[in-house]
Structures are given as C-alpha cells and as structure tokens.
Amino acid sequence: MHVRLPPSRYEATMELGVSGTLLLAIFISLVLYFFIWRRNLNKKNMPPGPPPLPVLGSMLHVNLKEMPQSMMKLSETYDPVFTIYLSSKPAVVLVGYDCVKEALIDHREIFGLRGPFEFGNLLFKGYGVMLTNGERWKQIRRFSLSTLRNFGMGKKSIEEPIKEEARYLAEEIKTWKSLFDPTYLLTMAVSNVICSVAFGERFDYEDVKFKTLFALLKEMFESMATTWGMLLNVFPRTLHFLPGPHQKIFTNMGKVKDFIAESLESHKATLDPNCPRDFIDCFLIKMKEDKEIDNTEFHFENLFVTVQNLFFAGTETTSTTLKISLRILLKYPEVLAKVQKEIDHVVGQNRCPSVEDRSKMPYTDAVIHEIQRFENILPLGVPHAAAETTIFRGYTLPKDTTVFALLDTALNDPKYFQNPEKFDPSRFLDANGHFKKTKAFIPFLTGKRICLGEGMARMEIFLFLTFILQNFTLKSEEPSSCIDVSPLPNTNGMIPRSYNIQLYPR
C-alpha cells in the first residue's frame, strides 16, 4: 500500500519560497504597470484631475450618489476643464456657462458628437436618434423634427392635443376630493401627448396597460439615478450579467418594447399612405419610399428605437418639471398669486390658455424659466464626445474623448445668475416688467445636440401649468415655510421629493 508522507521541512520551505516569489513578482508587475500607466497619462496633456487608479479610475474621488456635487468640489481644486476616469477611460468635465458655451456652440462641430454610452447601447443597440451619430443621427433627427413640427399634416398642430389632454386632466383632478400625489396624473397627461403624436391615440387614465407602462418608466428612471445605475454606466458589460436591482432597468425596458411593438404591428396592418395618422405612419411611409435605397436609415429597427426615444425622453422630464412646478408654487404662495392674477387678466375663465398668450404673460413666463433653472432635473446633462483630436483651453483632447458639459453649473453660474441658490423669477424680468432672456438659460442644453423635443416640452409645460392654475386653487398639508423643494438626497439631483396636494376648483 502506498503511503503519502508529509513534505519535509526543506520541501515546505521551497514551496513557500516559490509562492512568495510568485506573489512578489505579481506585486512588482502591478506596481510597474501602475507607474507606466500613470506616466503615459501625464504625456497626453489632458486637463488636470484627481489621480486615477487602474480599473477603478476616479471612482474614489466621485460620490456616485451625488455626482453633481462631487464634480463641483473637484472644479474648485482643478480648472473649469478637468479630467476624471470612468474605469480606464478619460472623460473631460466642463464647468460654468462660458466653458460649456465655448465647447458646444463656438466649437459645435468638434463637440457635436454624442458621447460613448455603452449602457445606452445595451438598451437601444445603436439605433434611433438619442444616442447615435453620423449619417444615421442626421437623417433620423431631420425627419423627426420635420414630422413633429408639421404633425397633423395641416389638420391640427401639437398645441391642440396638449389642450385636449389638459381638459381631460382637469376632469380627472376634479374626481380627487382629498390630498393626493400628483405624480401619476401629470405623467399620464404628458404621456398621452406623446401617445397622440407617436401612436395616434390617447389612453384613459384608468387603462391597466397605460398604468403599467407608467410604473415601468418611473421605476427605470429612479433606478438610473441610483448608485447601481451610475455603476451600470461605468461598467455596463460587466454589470449587465450580474444580479442586482439594476436588472429592473433591462426587465422594464423589455416590457416597454412589447408595448411599442404591439402598436407598430397594428399600424403596419392599417396603414393608409394617403392619410398618415401620426409619427409612426409617417415613418412607415418613408420606409416604403426608401426601400430601394441601399443603406437607408429608414428601416424597422430605427423606427422601433426612435419611438422609444421619443416616448422615454418626452415623458419623464416634462412631467417631472410640472410636478416640481406645483411644489415650488406651494412653497412661494406670493408667486402663485401673481401668476394666477396674470392668467385671469390675460386669459380669463372663458377659454383655454394658448401658446400665443405666453408673450402677453411676462411674469408667468419668468416663473416657468426660473423653475427650470432652479430645479434642473438633468444636472449632469448628456455626454458629448470630441469628433477629432483638438486643443481646448490649452489642453489636448484626443478624438472620441467623452465630454460632460455640466448643465447644473451653467444654470447656477453666479456670473449670469446673481444668488443662484435663491428662487427669484425677477431675474428674467427687466426694469419695466418685460420678459428678459438670459443666454445662460439652457435647460435643454445647447449646440448641435440640443434636445429634440424642446419646442414641444416648452409648449406642454406652459399650457398644462397655466391650465391647472386657471382652474384650480392649490393647497398643501404642509406650511409653505416647511416645504422642501430640493431633490431627494443620494439620487444625483434627478428625483424630486414626493408630496401631496389638493386642487380645489376656482
């Protein structure tokens, strides 16, 4: 029988020596790699920034729960142009309106690309209009803008479905006899406008499918604002396969896709090329016109994702702005009273507010502008990228470098907005009470990648808000002095606080 003898002291010593040598070699290799990596970084003449680490990048210097505040603190140490590392990839951060304007307007061709967004590509597969570049982006954006501007083909403009939906919203509000959270109703109303434009129909507020869709979008947006959501942006390919709360984003997106796919199939079966009903019909007609063109961008994948882009982007941001607007007006009752007085004077009670009224209502216009400035809901903006290697403010930015134009720092730039932490609509009025534009007001960003739905969003915010204030008195369960209008902590400034409100018919 073979008996295994314990290793001799010499053999044990040799094993320990080999293991120790191996660990020492690995340690030395990592140290050498680190210093060589850091030396290569220093050669690039990139903007300064916190010292990065391999793999982790600058994550030890950035609070993933409060990234806007982290960026502001870093800008105090470094220049208005500084570099952070998302894993091993550099990203240049622009702080303040002057810096943002210099990049996105003065050098719009160089910084007009949408930045690499791997997480977004996991969701949209490189199609659509929101995250694409080049010829695809140009063609889809040009078509989308033209179709949205001419929606209805001369039968009615986008203003009409917004007014119609405002009336449905008012009737629904009247059924609520006590305090309620307005999030659901406002999101439903805004979603119905997008549905009217894209799908050619609206849904009842109690429609089960519609309520489910709202819940899916709400969960997705909230998940993206968490630490897990931020990590998913930094390590998309890794976290995509790991369990965690972030998986809800992919699960919910799949359900949203099913909703849109069902509508697309219905449109294909009932399409009349001579009488397009909505955005989907117009796109399907364009697909038929271009079917013989090689490499056309008008195909089913781009239609599918573009509708997702319009629906997702056009619902959450506008409805959140309306929700914040009511909260701020509860906080500042003197502002609310002046707005309602102006509405009564210009519009009265016998007709709906119209877009044409806006120019006659400077105080209301100023209040809406100040709300958008004060409660910027996308403080980090959306990433851009350098189209070519360029020199910007003395630093070298290699081609394809990700660029974050911090929207929050432009809208709170003390050079253009005195005491920016204060809510003050008068900053948008001149000495005679006329509305006054301020160039640093860029809530939809600026340059080539300005928000596709800016015009419709501005119209929705004005019409919905003035219609509510024309018809209802706002009441809160909290004293105005106790109302907190800051966003929820640890959500990167993207999620407003929940609250209850009661709306009495005037």
Is the pLDDT assigned to residue 225 strictly greater than 80? no
Q: Same structural domain for residues 75 and 220?
A: no
Return the DSSP state at 103.
Answer: I
Residue 150 lies in a domain: yes
Q: How confident is the model at residue 143 (pLDDT cuts 50, 70, 90)?
A: very high
Written as one letter, the residue type at 137 is W
Q: 308 and 178 in one domain?
A: yes
Choose between 265 and 39: higher pLDDT.
265
For residue 464, report the phi and psi dihedrals to the nearest 5 degrees.
-65, -45
Query: Quick one: 206 and 302 in the same domain?
Result: yes
The answer on 223 and 343 residing in a single domain is yes
- pTM for the whole thing? 0.85
Whether the CB-CB separation of 334 and 218 falls below 8 Å is answered with: no
Provide the β-strand partners of residue 435.
Answer: 429
Choose the weakest-confidence range: 120-129, 223-232, 391-400, 401-410. 223-232
How does strand 395-397 pair with strand 81-86? unpaired
Quickly count: other Cβ atoms within 10 Å of residue 332's Cβ: 18
Q: Are residues 121 and 256 in the same domain?
A: no
Please give the helix or strand (H or E) that residue 112 lies within, else none.
Answer: none
- Report pLDDT digits (tens) over 303-353: 989 988 888 777 888 999 999 999 999 999 999 999 999 999 999 999 999
375 is a domain residue: no
Domain boundaries, position 197: 137-353+444-505
Flag whether 218 is in a domain.
Answer: yes
For 476-500, give one letter per residue: b (16+ CB within 10 A) or e: beeeeeeeebebeeebbbbbbeebe
The reply to whether 1 falls in a domain is no
**pLDDT over 90 (residue 190):** yes
Highest mean pLDDT (candidates 59-73, 204-218, 477-491): 477-491
Residue 180: DSSP 8-state: B
Tell me, yes or no, whether 241 and 117 share the same domain: no
Tell me the sheet residues that pair with 429.
435
Measured CA to CA, the distance from residue 58 to residue 49 in angstroms comes to 9
pLDDT-derived band at 433, boundaries 50, 70, 90: very high
DSSP state of 406: -
Q: Is residue 365 part of a domain?
A: no
Helical spans, DSSP H, in 175-299: 183-198, 208-224, 227-234, 236-239, 247-270, 279-289
Query: Considering the domain boundaries, does residue 405 fall inside one?
Result: yes
Distances in Å between the Cα of 447 and the Cα atoms of 59, 204, 249, 405, 441 are 29, 38, 30, 11, 13
Q: Report if residue 395 sits inside a domain.
A: yes
- How far does CA 72 lie from the centroid of its chain? 19
Strand 501-505 relative to strand 472-476, pairing:
antiparallel
Q: Indicate the number of domains in the chain.
A: 2
pLDDT digits (tens, 9 = 90+) for 11-55: 545 544 545 555 554 555 455 445 544 554 554 789 999 999 887
Do 149 and 282 belong to one domain? Answer: yes
Kind and range of the H or E element at 411? helix 407-411
Question: What are the angstrom distances between the C-alpha of 253 and each of 187, 193, 258, 301, 309?
Answer: 17, 20, 9, 15, 12
461 versus 381: which is more confidently predicted? 461
- What CATH number does residue 491 fall under? 1.10.630.10
Same domain, yes or no: 73 and 104 = yes
- Tokens 């990203």 sit on residue: 91
Q: Which residue has the tokens 């998940």?
A: 223
Same domain, 232 and 264: yes
Cβ-based neighbour number of residue 66 at 10 Å: 19
pLDDT band at 8 (very low <50, low <70, confident <90, very high): low
DSSP per-residue string spanning 63-90: -TTSHHHHHHHHHHHS-SEEEEEETTEE
- Name the nearest CA neighbour of 118 among 236, 239, 238, 240: 236
C-alpha 281 chain-centroid distance: 27
Contacts of 276 (CB under 8 A, 6+ apart): 153, 282, 285
CA distance 156 to 412: 38
pLDDT of residue 6: 54
pLDDT band (50, 70, 90) for residue 66: confident
% of the chain residues with pLDDT over 90: 52
| Domain contains 228 | yes
Candidates 259, 258, 306; CA nearest to 279 is 306
Do 481 and 405 have their domain in common? no
| pLDDT given at position 185 | 94
Estimate to the nearest angstrom the gap between the alpha carbon of 365 and the chain centroid: 23
CATH of the domain at 59: 3.30.43.20
Average pLDDT of every residue of the chain: 86
For residues 377 and 324, is the Cβ–Cβ distance under 8 A? yes
Confidence class of residue 223 from pLDDT cuts 50, 70 and 90? confident
Instruction: Looking at the structure, tell me whether residues 237 and 384 fall in a common domain.
Output: no
Residues 452 and 479 in one domain: yes
